[in-house]
């Protein structure tokens, strides 16, 4: 399976929140880059990790598994995980896999940050 | 095919969203218990420690490509399972959204009736997700990957025991039994392609914490419900007999 070009850029939006801009695919092969991005995002005092899916091309079940792992790591650090920019298709996937019960899903970055108390 | 087209095609591999599982047809001999009307359960809804277990077997790529491997695995999925366990594949095969019934052998000659839904399926992988009450909450992804002249067949489980009883069972030999199950399956798959190979296993505890707030999952336990169902078999047979006699009278 060719590894697609995937980037995870971290933005510091407030003292308490970081946004990870996802571009490309999330599959099991993305583990190292995603966890590296989470490591960069998860500084001291960070209480919310916001995942920006606006430029997501594709995610398979391996990718969903990675998000579950990321969620566990964030919960260990007492951090919230939020998401925005999901297409209708991937919103349904979050519902199907019941990831939406642990990840707050929002329409925009502003909404996600407001929900995190960092807007 | 450009990357966007490929992504769109692969996105079609996901099952449609469902709130409750529905078994369209019950194959002969299968017990439809603990599946109909149940919700799916991800590791987030499980009780026990969270584990990622990876089992791999390597085959020479000239013997089988990754896509051929997955096509065969989907088509003959139950054939590679250890004896005593039954996977009643959907009549339409392993396709996104299809539900399969399982009758599993447990220690003490117990039978456990449960099922899985095909969460995702494409030419390179497929994923089965468990319903509430299954031994574990999570999913198993079966994939084929071509690496350095070899085709790697992989089964990867991401799971938490569903409830405290299953958690105890896993700690008391259940994990080892599950390891043996998938090691047997992968070895049988390799043998099908005429290759004897050792199965590599890697087990990682992703989260050592148990989710005590989920202890109530025990209400849906397929172990308890399967046991009650088995205990009730003579009673149901008697009831059927009386009903028949009354109809004849």
DSSP string, B96-136: TT-EEEEEEEETTTEEEEEEEEEEEE-SSEEEEEPBTTSSE
A98/B44 CB distance under 8 A? yes
Tokens representing B203 are 């087990």
Cross-strand partners of B88: B101
Question: Is A101 part of a structural domain of the chain?
Answer: yes
pLDDT at B2 over 70: no
pLDDT at A76 over 70: yes
Question: Is A99 part of a structural domain of the chain?
Answer: yes
Q: Give A103-106's long-range contacts (Cβ < 8 A, gap of 24+).
A: A103/A51, A103/A67, A103/A71, A104/A80, A106/A82
Task: Please give the pLDDT value at position B228.
Answer: 84
Give CA torsion, residues B176, B178, B184, B186, to 10 deg. Answer: -120
Cα angle: A115, vertex B210, B114; to 5 degrees:
100
Other Cβ atoms less than 10 A from the Cβ of B243: the count is 10
Closest of B166, B151, B178 to residue B73, by C-alpha:
B151
Question: Is B184 part of a structural domain of the chain?
Answer: yes
Question: Is B7 part of a structural domain of the chain?
Answer: no
Tokens representing B129 are 């997700």
Given A60, A96, A99, which is nearest B125 (Cβ)?
A60
A61/B125 CB distance under 8 A? yes
**What ipTM does the predicted assembly reach?**
0.86
Rounded CA-CA distance B98/B12 in Å is: 14
Which position has the higher pLDDT, B248 or B195?
Answer: B195
Closest of B135, B121, B205 to residue B164, by C-alpha:
B135
Which domain CATH number covers A86?
A: 3.30.750.24
Please, which pLDDT band fits residue A117 given cuts at 50, 70 and 90?
A: confident
Quote the minimal CA–CA distance from A84 to chain B in Å: 19
Q: Is A88 on the interface with B (CB under 8 A)?
A: no
pLDDT at B22 over 50: yes
Q: Is B127 on the interface with A (CB under 8 A)?
A: yes
Chain A residues touching residue B143 (CB < 8 angstroms): 28, 62
Question: Is B115 part of a structural domain of the chain?
Answer: yes
Tokens representing B158 are 């991401």
Rounded CA-CA distance B179/B55 in Å is: 8
Q: Is B205 on the interface with A (CB under 8 A)?
A: no
Task: Please give the pLDDT value at position B75.
Answer: 94
Q: What range does the domain containing B157 cover?
A: 13-248
Please, which pLDDT band fits residue B110 given cuts at 50, 70 and 90?
A: confident
Question: Is A1 part of a structural domain of the chain?
Answer: no
B66/A1 CB distance under 8 A? yes
Closest of B117, B76, B121 to residue B95, by C-alpha:
B121
pLDDT at A3 over 70: no
Number of structural domains in chain B:
1
Q: pLDDT tens digits, residue range B218-233?
A: 998 888 888 888 777 7
Tokens representing B27 are 């194959």
B158/A58 CB distance under 8 A? no
Rounded CA-CA distance A17/B225 in Å is: 45
Q: pLDDT tens digits, residue range A42-68?
A: 988 999 999 999 999 999 888 999 999
pLDDT at B196 over 60: yes
Q: What range does the domain containing A83 cover?
A: 7-116
Cα radius of gyration rounded to whole Å, chain B: 20
Question: Is A2 part of a structural domain of the chain?
Answer: no
Quote the minimal CA–CA distance from A11 to chain B in Å: 26
CA-to-CA separations, B249 to A6, A30, B8, B166, B241, in angstroms, rounded: 74, 70, 64, 47, 12
Chain A residues touching residue B206 (CB < 8 angstroms): 69, 72
Q: pLDDT tens digits, residue range B44-101?
A: 999 999 999 999 999 999 999 999 999 999 999 999 999 888 898 887 889 999 999 9
Residues 6+ apart with CB under 8 A from B202: B53, B54, B56
Task: Please give the pLDDT value at position A1.
Answer: 47
Interhelix angle B175-192/B66-75, nearest 10 degrees: 110
Please, which pLDDT band fits residue A4 given cuts at 50, 70 and 90?
A: low
Closest of B207, B228, B225, B229 to residue B131, by C-alpha:
B225
Instruction: Please report where in the chains the tokens 């990754």 appear, as a residue.
Output: B66
Average pLDDT over residues B158-172: 94
B119/A96 CB distance under 8 A? yes
pLDDT at B31 over 90: no
Question: Is B222 part of a structural domain of the chain?
Answer: yes
Number of structural domains in chain A:
1
Q: Is A100 on the interface with B (CB under 8 A)?
A: no
Which domain CATH number covers B125?
A: 3.30.530.20
Nearest chain B residue (CA) to A100: B44
pLDDT at A35 over 80: yes
Task: Please give the pLDDT value at position B7.
Answer: 63
Q: Is B94 on the interface with A (CB under 8 A)?
A: no
Question: Is A80 part of a structural domain of the chain?
Answer: yes
Average pLDDT over residues A100-114: 96
A60/B120 CB distance under 8 A? yes
pLDDT at A118 over 60: no
Task: Please give the pLDDT value at position B33.
Answer: 82
Rounded CA-CA distance B38/B21 in Å is: 5
Q: Is A96 on the interface with B (CB under 8 A)?
A: yes
Which position has the higher pLDDT, B245 or B167?
Answer: B167
């Amino acid at each position: 399976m060719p590894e697609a070009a995937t980037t995870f850029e971290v933005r510091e939006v407030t003292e308490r929140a970081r946004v990870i801009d996802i571009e490309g695919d999330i599959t099991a092969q993305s583990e190292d880059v995603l966890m590296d991005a989470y490591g960069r995002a998860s500084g001291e005092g960070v209480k919310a990790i916001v995942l920006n899916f606006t430029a997501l091309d594709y995610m398979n079940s391996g990718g969903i598994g990675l998000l579950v792992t990321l969620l566990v790591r964030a919960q260990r650090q007492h951090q919230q995980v939020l998401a925005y920019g999901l297409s209708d298709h991937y919103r349904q996937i979050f519902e199907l896999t019941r990831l939406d019960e642990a990840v707050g899903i929002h329409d925009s970055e502003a909404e996600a940050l407001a929900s995190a108390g960092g807007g | 095919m450009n990357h966007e087209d490929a992504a769109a095609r692969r996105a079609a591999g996901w099952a449609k969203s469902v709130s409750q599982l529905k078994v369209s047809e019950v194959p002969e001999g299968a017990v439809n218990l603990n599946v109909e009307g149940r919700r799916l359960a991800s590791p987030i809804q499980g009780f026990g420690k969270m584990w990622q277990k990876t089992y791999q077997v390597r085959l020479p790529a000239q013997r089988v490509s990754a896509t051929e491997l997955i096509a065969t695995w989907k088509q003959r999925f139950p054939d590679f399972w250890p004896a005593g366990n039954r996977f009643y594949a959907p009549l339409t095969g392993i396709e996104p959204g299809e539900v399969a019934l399982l009758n599993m052998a447990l220690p003490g000659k117990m039978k456990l009736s449960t099922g899985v839904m095909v969460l995702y399926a494409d030419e390179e992988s497929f994923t089965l997700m468990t319903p509430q009450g299954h031994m574990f909450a999570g999913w198993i992804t079966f994939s084929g990957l071509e690496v350095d002249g070899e085709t790697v067949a992989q089964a990867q489980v991401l799971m938490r025991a569903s409830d405290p009883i299953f958690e105890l069972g896993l700690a008391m030999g259940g994990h080892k039994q599950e390891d043996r199950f998938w090691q047997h399956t992968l070895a049988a798959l390799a043998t099908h392609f005429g290759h004897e190979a050792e199965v590599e296993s890697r087990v990682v505890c992703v989260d050592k914490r148990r989710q005590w707030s989920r202890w109530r999952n025990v209400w849906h336990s397929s172990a308890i419900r399967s046991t009650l169902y088995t205990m009730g078999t003579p009673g149901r047979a008697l009831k059927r007999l009386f009903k028949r006699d009354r109809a004849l009278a």
